[in-house]
Amino acid sequence: MTTETAIKVTINGKTYLVEIADLETQNIGTWNSAINICHALRQGGHSDWTLPTIDELLEIAEHSYLRDARYWTANTYGTALAAYVLIENGKPAGEWFDSNREVYSVRAIRRIAGE
């Protein structure tokens, strides 16, 4: 892990370190594909990669680690909808739920430690 790939995030008053995978896919697949990509990822000797939550993805975007695209998150609503965050001009432009069958991008993370 390098310092460029780890950031501190604070969600609901809890601060922890998140490592961002070097892998960034553009329009790779459905939400299920995104989950499978994260679970299959083996990087830096680790296999505990996952999709970020909406809040984690928004924090990552604040550190300019995302290209303009729609990125899947771990958040779901029922069994047919999953949340994504839209990044435009390098900044978050909002988050929405969409059919988990749409094709969006993936940015895998792993949670390292809490404070």
Assign residue 74 the CATH number of its domain: 3.10.100
Instruction: Check residue 95 and give its pLDDT.
Output: 84
In the chain, the number of structural domains is: 1
- pLDDT of 59-79, one tens digit each? 888 876 788 889 999 999 888
Low-confidence ranges of the chain (pLDDT < 70): 1-4, 23-24, 64, 114-115
* % of the chain residues with pLDDT over 70: 90
Residues 6 or more apart whose CB falls under 8 angstroms from that of 9 comprise 15, 16, 17, 18, 55, 56, 59, 60
Cross-strand bridge partners of residue 107 = 24
Domain with 43, as residue range(s), is: 3-114
pTM greater than the 0.85 cutoff: no
> What local confidence, expressed as pLDDT, does residue 24 receive?
65
